[in-house]
Amino acid sequence: MHTLQELANLIFPDVHETVADLEKRYPERNLPEGAEVTRFAPSPTGFLHTGSLFTSMVSSKVAHQSKGVFFMRLEDTDQKREIAGSGDELITQMHLFGIEPDEGYMGSSAPEKGIYGPYVQSKRSEIYKVCIKDLLLRGRAYPDFATQEELDELRAVQTANRVVPGYYGEYAKYRYLTVDEAYDKIVGGTPYVIRFKSNGNHENFIMAHDEIRGDLRLPENDQDVVIMKSDGLPTYHFAHVCDDHFMHTTVVTRGEEWIASWPIHIELFAAMGFKLPKYAHLPVIMKLDNGNKRKLSKRKDPEAAVSYFLEQGYPAVGLVKYLMTIANSNFEEWMIENPKEDFRNFAFSFNKMSLDGALFDLEKVKYICKETLAYESKEQISSEAKNWAKTYDPKLFELIGRDEKKFEAIMNIERGGEKPRKDYEKYSDIYPHVRFFYNDEFAKIKEELHGVLPFNPAISKEDTVSVLEDFLKTMDYSVDQNTWFANLKALAVSHGFAESFKIYKKNKEAYKGHVGDVAGMVRIALTGSAQSPNLYDVLHILGKEEVERRIREAVASL
């Protein structure tokens, strides 16, 4: 007659360590009181989802504002779904969005940081085996030999009888094998998995405290969940329990879709004798589709992947700020009151987090990104634009490379004041706005317009030519902006235009137009468009020689 010890040794002949040995190997962290340990634990199964960026941002914020530790763990136990290289891509994209783990997995070509590794689950199999062997020895786990056909038949019976589906209680066929029967099946080569032996009853309820939602009343777990698959790797349910215990995670942040599985994890922690960490189940990011809410979809929504925002040229910090407005209801007010403040100085709180899934609002992302870029220094926006253009916009990258100081001057137009210009919401907006500053690009603009600049048709060609010729004669580059504009007003008045729109509006019949029309003539001649950055700055960046050349060409075309 075989014992549990013999059965456990048969399944794990090479496992000689105990849970107590693991406790010594992974000692408690030496952190100040109140410091939280959080983690981001993605699967390497594709791109970084916007929802995953949201989760990692919250985890990072909770750890760092408490002087704790934020680490990265790669959960690759589902190796059938793994996509080669996606782990490295996750790390790279997190870095681009300013989410930096203090320890953990740092990419396939970089060494791990920290003493609680390995931080890749497939490399931690010996740890899981020690814990599963412990459960086997204590009668809290058992080998299960159910085939797929048996499981399908069980599901059909439960459906027909309208009972709670799953592998539990009287429906857990192989739970009731004797040790000898299980031993003989394994020796005979029958395939098996390891299941947890639950002591629960789904008709009973437990109370669980969520950091966001408060106390929740949940049905007790009674499912004998698989904790080790036939390939020897654990399931998520069991692996994360072991990992979060031995890595000493204090707060588990994850999506609200995991609430249904939470009772399983609570029972697993208790069965292992591990302290239960705090849990914060984050709201799911939603999308409005034909009037109905649904989860942001990898297949349907380009904005579900953070790579979309990188490719389009949205400033990474702008998207993170937007996600922070979802995370805390008071962040947007704080951001408006502190437009130049580093958003990382905002005090995050789980208590300010919405319980409902937030609708993803791309227009709000654009607004926040525009505000973000407007308050950056000329050096910062120029550097960021160059870095982005190097990968995504070779035309802009080439322009910047010609004269970086000139590009900074262009970016500096009406920047730095209390109310800076807000021309750009993303780096891809820059090229079409600034190309006219470069002579060859301005020539292309005129070609695209077929040589016909869009002068105001309400003003005669003769008046336009007269104003432009007189502007050439009177333009003074040495005066300040106020004096220059006063001179432009005088020029306008001398040609029969009102010195302000207000005056013109009162008596339109008395004037050919107003000073804005005169400025528009100069603007169109110099930029090819009725809209441009501050005209005084444009003149000084182009320089006297180029200004005169462009105006003469405009006059000739008229």
Q: Is the pLDDT of residue 207 over 70?
A: yes
Is position 101 within any domain?
A: no
Q: Residue 167: which CATH number?
A: 3.40.50.620
Nearest residue to 277 (alpha-carbon basis) of 39, 31, 19, 21: 39
pLDDT at res. 156 = 95
Q: Read off the pLDDT of residues 96-115 as tens digits, 9 standing for 90 and up.
A: 999 999 999 999 889 999 99
Is position 508 within any domain?
A: yes
Q: Is the pLDDT of residue 82 over 70?
A: no
Measure Cα distances from 213 to 164, 266, 324, 450 in Å: 26, 17, 18, 62
3-class secondary-structure state, position 38? strand
Question: What average pLDDT does the segment 232-260 reach?
Answer: 95
- Decide which of 374, 408, 427 is a domain's last residue: 374
What angle (nearest 5°) sits at the alpha carbon of residue 526, between those of residues 520 and 528?
A: 75
pLDDT at res. 42 = 92
pLDDT band at 287 (very low <50, low <70, confident <90, very high): confident
Report the number of distinct structural domains present in the chain. Answer: 4
pLDDT band at 298 (very low <50, low <70, confident <90, very high): confident
Nearest residue to 428 (alpha-carbon basis) of 373, 377, 364: 373
Residue carrying structure tokens 């437990």: 206
Cβ distance 530 to 454 under 8 Å?
Answer: yes
Phi then psi dihedrals of residue 222, to 5 deg: -135, 5
Instruction: Give yes or no: residues 468 and 540 share one domain.
Output: yes
Q: Read off the pLDDT of residues 129-182 as tens digits, 9 standing for 90 and up.
A: 999 999 999 999 999 999 999 999 999 999 999 999 999 999 999 999 999 999
Question: What average pLDDT does the segment 346-368 reach?
Answer: 90
Instruction: Give yes or no: residues 502 and 418 share one domain.
Output: no
**CA pair distance 115, 102, nearest whole angstrom:** 12
Q: Read off the pLDDT of residues 430-472 as tens digits, 9 standing for 90 and up.
A: 999 999 999 999 999 999 999 899 999 999 999 999 999 999 9
Tokens of 374: 């407007």
Instruction: Give yes or no: residues 505 and 553 share one domain.
Output: yes
Is position 108 within any domain?
A: no
Q: How many CB atoms lie within 10 A of CB 83?
A: 12
Q: Is the pLDDT of residue 28 over 70?
A: yes
Is position 163 within any domain?
A: yes
- Domain span holding position 524: 461-557
Instruction: Give yes or no: residues 251 and 341 share one domain.
Output: no
Nearest residue to 225 (alpha-carbon basis) of 193, 202, 182: 193
**CA pair distance 408, 423, nearest whole angstrom:** 15
Q: What's at 68, amino acid-wise?
A: G
Is position 129 within any domain?
A: yes
Handedness of CA 235, 236, 237, 243 (dihedral sign): positive
Instruction: Give yes or no: residues 304 and 424 share one domain.
Output: no
Is position 45 within any domain?
A: no
pLDDT at res. 103 = 97
Q: Is the pLDDT of residue 494 over 80?
A: yes
Considering 75-89, 285-299, 388-402, the range whose residues carry the highest mean pLDDT is 388-402
Measure Cα distances from 296 to 285, 289, 361, 490 in Å: 6, 10, 11, 58
pLDDT at res. 417 = 78
Q: State the pTM of this model.
A: 0.88
pLDDT at res. 254 = 94
- Mean pLDDT of the chain, nearest integer: 94
For the ranges 75-84, 171-180, 374-383, the lowest mean pLDDT is seen at: 75-84
Q: Is the pLDDT of residue 59 over 90?
A: yes
Q: What's at 277, amino acid-wise?
A: P
Instruction: Give yes or no: residues 269 and 364 share one domain.
Output: no
Beta pairing class for 141-144 and 103-104 = unpaired
Is position 492 within any domain?
A: yes
Question: What average pLDDT does the segment 50-74 reach?
Answer: 96
